[in-house]
Structure 1
Amino acid sequence: MLQTIQIGIDLGTANTLVYSSSKGIILNEPTVVAIDKKSGTIIAFGHEAKKMIGKTPQSIEIVRPLKEGVIADFDRTTELLKLIMQKAGKKLGTGLRKPTVAICTPSGATSVERRAIEDAAKQSGAKEVYLVEEPVAAAIGSDLPVHEPVASMIVDIGGGTTEVGIISFGGVVASNTTKAAGDHMNEAIILHVRKEYNVLIGEPTAEDIKHTIGHGLVPHEAEQMTVTGRDVVTGLPKSIQLSSTEIQEVLRESLETILETIRATLEVCPPELSGDIVDHGVVLTGGGALLKQIGDWLSTVIDVPVHIAPEPLHAVVIGTGKTVMPKFNRVRVAK
């Protein structure tokens, strides 16, 4: 029998995750769709579409409908959400009719951008939609005391944006957002390889380089990685060897921008809460939290303890899903 259930959705630039309080994370798909140019229909989404990046004929277009944390293509986002919710219903095995949905939004999103996210969710079949600010969701998902009069500082390094927030009493006291995040790092790696080696590589390869030999800005034992791309001059495949120290320099600009965003947020933190941050530190979430030694580097430069969340990739969606529970009602973003 079909029944209404409650789910949380982390509609991210890079990945979309769905959380159910009864079954935990039930879906984790890249926020990517493959479109047939002739008919305009979506022929694949998620992992299936991501595998097609850089490998499709001219009749198929690969689209990422979200950019920098907000909707860039409303129609495609709505279609993607419908497919995501249908797949989530099958995973739950109960059917998914008019669910109550909590969905996270960047703290710097405008009222128009928030309305677009809410409308997309409703057009995808949601009965009720609650919007939750991303830093709050990340804090809840990291098991921080968001309802207490204690400052919890979150740095969520996602695909499209890095969100920095200080939370107390269930709300955001201070926050800042920067576009220096996972996608920005990937673009820097692609540009570097082209400029220094005359070799073109795609986004998946850049992502792999970042995960394998990317490091925070601290000394480390150099690592090597061989990658293959297309020679700009000859057009033929070419393999090159990259070192972790050179990639570290490539990532420097993005990492220093993230650092400045953290400092800017700390500067506007009320003095009464600053002591809590010194005592309890900063918590990193998002895919960027998995960059090697990023916690060690940040703790050195801001002189505050830095911790990686227990589940950095899942913290936002877990927190978003929990906000549909009665005890978390206070942290919902007002419509």
Structure 2
Amino acid sequence: MVNMLQEIREIGSHAMDIYDYLVAGIDPRIKDYPLMQNPIPMTMTLLCYLFFVLYLGPRIMASRKPFQLKEAMIVYNFLLVALSIYIVYEFLMSGWATTYTWRCDAVDTSNSPEALRMVEVAWLFWFSKIIELIDTIFFVLRKKHSQITFLHIFHHSFMPWTWWWGVSYAPGGMGSFHAMVNSSVHVIMYFYYGLAAAGPRFQKFLWWKKYMTAIQLIQFVLVSLHATQYYFMDSCDYQFPTVIHLVWVYGTFFFVLFSNFWFQAYIRGKRLPKQDMKQCQNGTAVYNNGKHHENGNGIIHGLTTTNGSVHHENGSVHMGKMKKA
């Protein structure tokens, strides 16, 4: 027993040494930003998120009717559009459209205005992933349980957790390319969600849903290609190659998943009835050929969102009954 206690103390001591070493390596320029002093607040935030969406939220909603959150979703989606536009602009102005070569770009560790601007937008991109946890909370409150897939939960929790470390150690450089591309895709994606949440009167403006998946596939190709060039360079002074490896894995992994979704949904037509494939939208009800279809955020998110499930509730509806209702 004494030996076991001694071993536990030694393990605890080693773990604390590793933790102190990791915290000591955080970029001092970012330590004053919210949730960046150490990984504990960020980890607790994500654990609370998981507890709510997997256990507490469903139990609370079990005996309640789904919330109608149309106005909140419209505001939320268009605010994320504005935030994503700002993030893309800041990434461009802090390096990608000014001094970066788009190949091997090291992290600027100085306190120059441009370097500090990159630190700020890198943190803002990470914080946007925390804001996007609200996606799943909307699913819970609207009782869209089919949308809360393992892939969705995994991406929404694991992505901000890993990016916290990326921002802490490497706020900028070639590792930030995928953040800029991802934010560009989110401008389009959340604009689509905002229009879809606004109701059936915007149906005619949403014919391009199918191409959202194509845009996301292009995103993963760009991200993977940009990361891949690192492995063919004779030398590269980027300071944190682990970030490049992780980005490459992300890009390749999600490209495979999205390609499968594209094939199943738009080639084989298994995920959506063919006549309605272009008409199911985020939070809206669509009437077509006398049938009713309802879908939550059915588009798989970009590198930051990954929900490929599409939910259908079919039932013939006669026009007389519709008018009576």
User: What interval of TM-score do these two structures reach, taking the shorter chain for normalisation?
Assistant: under 0.3
TM-score (norm 1): 0.25
Rg: which structure is higher? 2
- Please state which structure has a larger fraction of its residues in helix: 2
TM-score (norm 2): 0.26
- Please state which structure has a larger fraction of its residues in strand: 1
